[in-house]
Amino acid sequence: MDPLPTSQSVVLTGYHLNDDSTDDFVNSIKEETERSSPGRRCGQYSMNQAHSRNMENPQYERSYSQDSLDELSMADYWNEVENIQTTQENCQEEQEEVAVKVPDEGEVEEEWLKNAGLSGLVSGDTQESIAILSTLTSTQAEAVQRRVETFTMTMKKKNKQHFPDVRDIFSPQASSTNEVSAVATDGDEREDTAEKIEGQLNNLAIKDESIQHTDINLEISYSEQAANTKDKSNNENPIREDDSPLPNYRLPKEKTGTTKAGDLAPQDMKKVHSLALIEITALYDTLGVDFKQHKAMRVKIREMGLFGVPLSVLLEQDQKKFPGTKVPLILQKLIAHIEEEGLNTEGILRIPGLASRIKSLREELEAKFYEKTFNWENVRQHDAASILKLFIRELPHPLVTLEYLDAFLAVQNLAHRKHQLQALNLLVLLLPDQNRDTLKSLLEFLQRLIDNKESNKMTLNNVSVIMAPNLFMFKGCCSKTQLAMAAGTSTIMRYLIKYQELLWTIPKFIMNQVRRQNIEHHKKLSKEKAVMKLLKKMTYDKDKHERNQTDKSLHDPVTLQGVIRVQAPSLSKVSMAIQLTEDLKASDILARFQQYLSQNSRITESTNKEEVCLYEIGGNIGERCLDDDTYMKDLYQLNPNAEWVIKPRCQ
């Protein structure tokens, strides 16, 4: 890994650049707009002008991913940048200041290891880290090893401190790609079951390219796939610049259920976050793409209000009024207002509202929104759309976070669409919950808008090029290099909108690794429990009694006959015994329970309104809301020690 530059801070102010390139950049945008699409304000296309001046357009580097983004579509991008500049110039409020720190050499590796859950490799307490390393693939372990080596060498040069030898940490005894210990239990009787479960997990991990692919493989680590096909990929053509539509990737159906971001308990999502960080780093390493994580060291922010307020502060305000709120109320209301007025308005998003009117509405919203005295009837469709974009771009930190902004932008440097989608999938999983939920709400709205393209003339391309600068032009970071980024960021935006279902899915290989980590954790607890028993010198009779109880539960005839017991403590005191069959799905169990409650008049009005879910709890998972199409027998075989509970979906 190349050494990082020395520490420096760059102050970014609003969308105004702080250096001498400000005027040149704005003029270049205006010239680009005039040359490629004169008279295109308010969404009016000038086909003849665009074609006649084709040779006069500024030369800018096209990314590999610029397919189906024609000249007229990109003209919307430049118009949007100009509208952003105009809106900012009409705002008289003091601009927010953000100091972005480029980390010192070694700092970025230390922070990376901490975020990956491997801080023990820095502190010297490697026991917990070794347990995590034992669940990693070879490419993931190599990514970790590179960062440990860089950190160790840097610290030795700086402080001449002693750190664990990286060869000891990554020795075959400490870490193994395909060898994972069995499920830890309190009795030897359960070892055979544990080995079977681990065998299922390992078989999934070591599958090779002989697997029958449909569209995109979620069972094998992305970085492993990239490493295995690297030589082949070098001979393949990269994404071509053509007018073909984006392909429809089908989400593979998994018998043990598809897991979405938000389906897992916080402790398991924390593991997903760490694994996604390791995997995206391994993927970028394998493909030769570099990115640096940045941090905001000093931020002058507003601590109340609607615009320019951190997402966390907004949600804290909103949750005081509506507990459980996951998406800012102002964004929800803006989306609802636009949809109430209808999504058929031509040029919505593209045609800007009058700058002075937007400024006035913004001030009025700040004063009256939470007081519920704001008159939404006075807000026109285009004005509401302009305010929505203003809200997104004025967040103190980008919606995709400052920390991973470079990683998102690096997606455009990947030469193949499959790799781009894999990278975006991992980056979405890396986002904090509040950012991911807000981004999803925005993207779902944009898709609904695109669904009405026949009347509003807003295609996927139109929406993407307009929203890209609002999402990715963080404060003052746009410069002349933005000319090279335009097509790339627009295509990233297209992928985020079109492939939402895929991008919000937790790949099966990561879910398998989460289960392995839980297995290792249970093993550790079992050992600690055994030690405590010895220290307390428990009596033979008591110990014998506990073993008998364990044996009884293990050999329960109901369990051996393939029957699970489903509970719904918040809905009924009665549990149901469900016989497992090959075709029994989670949706079937929910339907049976609802029918039982209905027959016994135990469904209340509040119960009907709540979305309930069948949860897999315990065993080798913390808590997981099951997909309706989960085949219960297959899942039971993967996690026989789980409990099955029906309850309202976690809000």
Q: Are 199 and 538 in contact (CB under 8 A)?
A: no
Task: With a cut of 90, say whether residue 518 has pLDDT above it.
Answer: yes
Average pLDDT over residues 471-493: 71
494-508 residue pLDDT tens: 999 999 999 999 999
Q: Which residue has the higher pLDDT, 58 or 633?
A: 633
Q: Are 326 and 434 in contact (CB under 8 A)?
A: yes
Per-residue pLDDT, 54: 37
Report the candidate in 157, 169, 112, 125 with the shortest Cα–Cα distance to residue 284.
112
d(CA 74, CA 271): 40
Count Cβ atoms within 10 A of the Cβ of residue 54 and give its class: 0-12 exposed, 13-18 middle, 19 or more buried.
Answer: exposed
Per-residue pLDDT, 358: 93
The separation between the first and the last C-alpha atoms of the chain, rounded to the nearest angstrom, is: 42
* Neighbour tally for 604: CB within 10 Å: 11
Q: Which residue has the higher pLDDT, 81 or 146?
A: 146
Which residue type sits at 494? R
85-139 residue pLDDT tens: 777 665 544 444 555 565 666 788 888 888 888 888 877 677 777 878 888 999 9
d(CA 130, CA 253): 33
Pairing of strands 8-13, 295-299: unpaired
Which residue type sits at 248? N
d(CA 616, CA 501): 22
Q: Are 566 and 644 in contact (CB under 8 A)?
A: yes
Q: Are 647 and 569 in contact (CB under 8 A)?
A: yes
Which residues lie below 8 Å from residue 373, measured CB to CB, with a gap of 6+? Answer: none
Task: With a cut of 90, say whether residue 295 has pLDDT above it.
Answer: no
Per-residue pLDDT, 157: 76
> Locate tokens 């033979």: which residue?
540
Per-residue pLDDT, 528: 61
Mean of the per-residue pLDDT values for the chain? 76
Highest-confidence range of 45-49, 64-68, 124-128, 589-593, by mean pLDDT?
589-593
Task: With a cut of 80, say whether residue 594 has pLDDT above it.
Answer: yes
Average pLDDT over residues 543-549: 53
Q: How confident is the model at residue 153 (pLDDT cuts 50, 70, 90)?
A: confident
Q: How confident is the model at residue 320 (pLDDT cuts 50, 70, 90)?
A: very high
Per-residue pLDDT, 432: 96
Task: With a cut of 80, say whether residue 619 has pLDDT above it.
Answer: yes
Count Cβ atoms within 10 A of the Cβ of residue 554 and give its class: 0-12 exposed, 13-18 middle, 19 or more buried.
Answer: middle
567-586 residue pLDDT tens: 988 777 778 899 999 999 99
Task: With a cut of 70, say whether residue 329 has pLDDT above it.
Answer: yes
Report the candidate in 277, 294, 288, 291 with the shortest Cα–Cα distance to residue 428.
277
Per-residue pLDDT, 2: 42
Average pLDDT over residues 602-612: 58
Task: With a cut of 60, say whether residue 159 has pLDDT above it.
Answer: yes
Lowest mean pLDDT among 89-98, 271-280, 373-382: 89-98
Instruction: Count the residues in the chain.
Output: 651
d(CA 459, CA 446): 10
Coil vs helix vs strand at 191: helix
Tokens of 420: 């781009």
* Helical segments of 413-507, H only: 417-430, 433-450, 453-456, 460-472, 482-498, 500-503
Coil vs helix vs strand at 422: helix
Sheet bearing 612-618, strands edge to edge: 576-579, 563-567, 643-648, 612-618, 621-625
Element (H, E) at 183: none
> Locate tokens 């004169």: which residue?
38
Q: How confident is the model at residue 5 (pLDDT cuts 50, 70, 90)?
A: very low
> Locate tokens 């859950």: which residue?
117
> Locate tokens 């601009």: which residue?
95
Q: Say what the pTM is.
A: 0.78
Which residues lie below 8 Å from residue 220, measured CB to CB, with a gap of 6+? Answer: 205, 207, 211, 509
* Helical segments of 288-410, H only: 311-321, 329-340, 355-368, 381-393, 405-410
Per-residue pLDDT, 222: 96
